[in-house]
Amino acid sequence: MAKDLIISEIERQNVLNNNIAIKAIQEKLNVPAMLFNGQYCFTKQMVADFYEVDEKTIKRYLKSHEQELKDNGYFLCMGKQLKELKLQYVRDINVPHKARYLGLFNFRSFLNIGMLLSESEKAQQVRSLMLDIAIASINERTGGGTKYINRRDIDYVPSAIAEINYRKTLTSAINKCVDGHPTMKYASITDSIYKAIFRENAKEYKEILKLKENDKVSDTMYAEVLLLIASFENGVGYEMEKQYKENGCQLLSLQDVNDIIAKFANHPFQQPLLNDARAKMASRDLGFRDAYHGNIAEYLRAVTPEEYERFIGDKSIDFDSILEGNQEVLKRLKQAEDE
């Protein structure tokens, strides 16, 4: 999926929230700036000069994208701060003596406006550089592939084990309570659960993530998503057993199970959990894997700085190293895969 920073605010924010990429971009560009109060700052004229546009153009974008630019660090310098800035950079800024404030860009908002300037060839070059560095920052931390970036989350292993355990509850209920061929009915019910949660079945999910035929879908899912699936599977298994007993131990049809799944998915207590899981999967897969889940696109948001830290920053982990030091976990995961 091609990234268009000019059009998509989510794509812009996905770059700007990646602090690892921002540092690398800053080093690469090495733009002259004013160091003030611990951050690099730029006046509107400095921004205009760098992107080779008129200052009026910068003012126009400030008006049309005011909140976005403020959220990313554009601010008004006034009062005591303005006096200090004038003393420190008297030759670099042109501020009327009676001016009460001066608009300043920090480095993130400096990049932000470069993402918006469609009329600037220099800005186009910077956008290309930003995307290259943002992609490289993720690939470098994940060893060149993002298929299993979910495993870099320290919460992944316990969530994976929980999902495995609750899935056994579901499969046990399927075997005991549902009519049909064991392999076919399990695959059908699993697809129905995925459709209820993510509006796409396992095959569709694999196509979106470009997974191989033998890749396991659950191995690529995030910790929160796995816990939601575990909760869902446990609840569906419970309802199946309940209905089976109420029917005098008569086997349920696949349609009976689909009705249970639909009712479970539409229950009010599930909605916050479903919405959260959809938002995390749709947003992280777009931000980290460049994978677009069209059926849950309304849940898209930008990947947060905390999520970047969690999956590619100092808080992320080397999954293989963790398992190497935790042989019991490794055995349990391996055993589950063999069953």
DSSP state of 249: S
Its sign, for the CA torsion 49, 53, 54, 58, is: negative
Angle 315-317-320 from CA coordinates, rounded to 5°: 175
The sheet with strand 101-106 has its strands ordered as: 34-36, 39-43, 101-106, 75-78
pLDDT of residue 312: 94
Distance CA 113, CA 118 (A): 10
* Greatest Cα-to-Cα distance within the chain, rounded to the nearest angstrom: 89
Instruction: Point out the residues of the chain with pLDDT beneath 50.
Output: 1-2
Residue 156: φ, ψ to 5°: -65, -50
Residue 129, classified by CB atoms within 10 Å of its CB into exposed (0-12), middle (13-18) or buried (19+), is middle
Structure tokens at 136: 């490289």
Which residues are within 8 A (CB) of 122 and not within 5 positions of it... i.e. 6 or more apart? 50, 51, 52
Q: What is the pTM of this model?
A: 0.86
Q: Domain boundaries in the chain?
A: 9-142, 149-338
Report whether 284 contacts 307 (CB < 8 A). Answer: yes
